[in-house]
Amino acid sequence: MIRFSLSGFGDEISADLDAQLDALKALRISALDLRTAFGKNVLALTNAEVDEIGARVRGHGMRVQSIGSPVNKVKFTPEGRSDELSRLHRASEIAKRLGTQRIRVFTPETDPNGGQEAWPEIKIWMAPQVRYAHDNSLVLLHENDGRFFGAFPGNARLLFHEFGGPHFKAVYDPGNAVLIGTRTMRDWFPWIQIHLDTIHVKDGKQAENRFVNPGTGDGELKEMFSFLVMNGWHGQLTMEPHAQIAGENGGFSGEEAFRTAVAALRGVLDAAGAEA
């Protein structure tokens, strides 16, 4: 049986960092994806706050899996490129202080219907970020979120054909895919597997435009995990259920709903011949 490593966005559980870490540890989740803490987005944290987070995470016997940054989660404007590169620099500093190489990123919003006309501008936008990742031994994890350029499978294929490699990898979120009308096995697999670093565990029902517990929506999680098990994939799973709130730069579930989502995931994995 394949065993996947499991982490979680702790701010889905509570605004209190210690409550996040206690709950994750009780669920046998050994790593934190850092998105918000102390009432701030991760990029707004001071160095002293980042170091305090690191100390608390280590004190719980855990590690930081990735920096859940909002880099590139903006509408495309010509002047925005340098701003987002600066935000990536800050995310890199935070990642290094917390002992991780992984930084979640997006691609700017261009055509909300997924058109590819902006691809030349997106390529110019992303190239210096990927070079920076290479030069600083970082791994940029691109997420298919919302209606941003790379949320659409055809656009994502352009991105990974151009930039895919050890410093630019994929986070695939089946719940996000569902809400814009795409499907995991029809539109994303198997082509994305060679770029795949992490699965954000979220499911959704398109007709209701909402997120639901893993395995109860249109995200085809059982089929996806069965495919990954059959093909020997050993990547990261990260809990991000968005059970109560799905906001612009994050979501919230609450401890009880988060616990229910973890149990649902483990049931899906068991049916697929895996565990976490």
With a cut of 70, say whether residue 197 has pLDDT above it: yes
- 79's tokens: 């002047």
* Model pLDDT for residues 77-115, shown as the tens digit of each residue: 999 999 999 999 999 999 999 999 999 999 999 999 999
pTM of the model: 0.96
pLDDT for res 227: 97
pLDDT for res 242: 85
Measured N-to-C along each axis, helices 255-272 and 221-230 cross at an angle, to the nearest 10 degrees, of: 50
Q: What's at 154, amino acid-wise?
A: G
With a cut of 90, say whether residue 253 has pLDDT above it: no
The total of other beta-carbon atoms located within 10 Å of residue 127's CB is 13
Q: What is the mean pLDDT of residues 120-133?
A: 98
Measured N-to-C along each axis, helices 119-135 and 153-163 cross at an angle, to the nearest 10 degrees, of: 40
Provide the Cα torsion 201, 240, 69, 252; round to 10°. Answer: 160
pLDDT for res 269: 98
Averaged confidence pLDDT in the chain:
96
- Number of residues in the chain: 276
Q: Which helix (H) or strand (E) holds 250?
A: strand 250-252
Domain range for 72: 2-275
What is the tally of helices (H) and strands (E) in the chain? 8, 16
Q: Are 103 and 71 in contact (CB under 8 A)?
A: yes
Between β-strands 245-247 and 63-71, what pairing exists: parallel, antiparallel or unpaired? unpaired
Distance spanning both ends of the chain, measured CA to CA: 10
Question: Is there a cis peptide before residue 190, judged by omega within 30 degrees of 0?
Answer: yes
* Model pLDDT for residues 7-48, shown as the tens digit of each residue: 999 999 999 999 999 999 999 999 999 999 999 999 999 999
pLDDT for res 1: 84
CA dist 17 → 37, 55, 249, 250 (Å): 6, 11, 18, 16
Q: How confident is the model at residue 246 (pLDDT cuts 50, 70, 90)?
A: low
pLDDT for res 48: 98
Cα–Cα distance for residue pair 16/38, rounded to 1 Å? 7
CA dist 197 → 5, 78, 141, 144, 150 (Å): 11, 30, 7, 13, 16
CA dist 232 → 16, 226, 265 (Å): 37, 10, 19
The total of structural domains in the chain comes to 1
CA angle 236, 76, 150 (to 5 degrees): 30
Domain CATH for 12: 3.20.20.150
With a cut of 80, say whether residue 243 has pLDDT above it: no
pLDDT for res 252: 77
pLDDT for res 185: 98
Q: What's at 108, amino acid-wise?
A: P
Q: How confident is the model at residue 225 (pLDDT cuts 50, 70, 90)?
A: very high
With a cut of 90, say whether residue 266 has pLDDT above it: yes
Q: What's at 124, amino acid-wise?
A: I
Cα–Cα distance for residue pair 184/217, rounded to 1 Å? 12
pLDDT for res 247: 66
